[in-house]
Amino acid sequence: LSEFEAIVGHCVDEAQLVTKGAQLMQELDLGALLVTRGEHGMTLLRPDQQALHLPARAREVFDVTGAGDTVISTLAAAI
């Protein structure tokens, strides 16, 4: 979320995240945008579709190193 907010500005709630994400998708002509949100899970945005919020499954975490790499690797494998 911090990288996303560095681009679009601070989001006070999920509705603002969706609005700013939709604007970014339109500006960059993206077919989809996945925003990772730490303990809040992930939000998948697609044009003309409702935002899909994927909750996190809470676990005790000691080190988040590589978490982003894990997300992108899993997403790439699923495509």
Catalytic residues: 69
- Tokens linked to 22: 């939709």
Taking every pair of C-alpha atoms in the chain, what is the biggest distance, in angstroms? 38
Contact in structure between 54 and 44 (CB atoms under 8 Å): yes
End-to-end CA distance of the chain: 22
Backbone angles phi, psi at 3, to 5 degrees: -65, -40
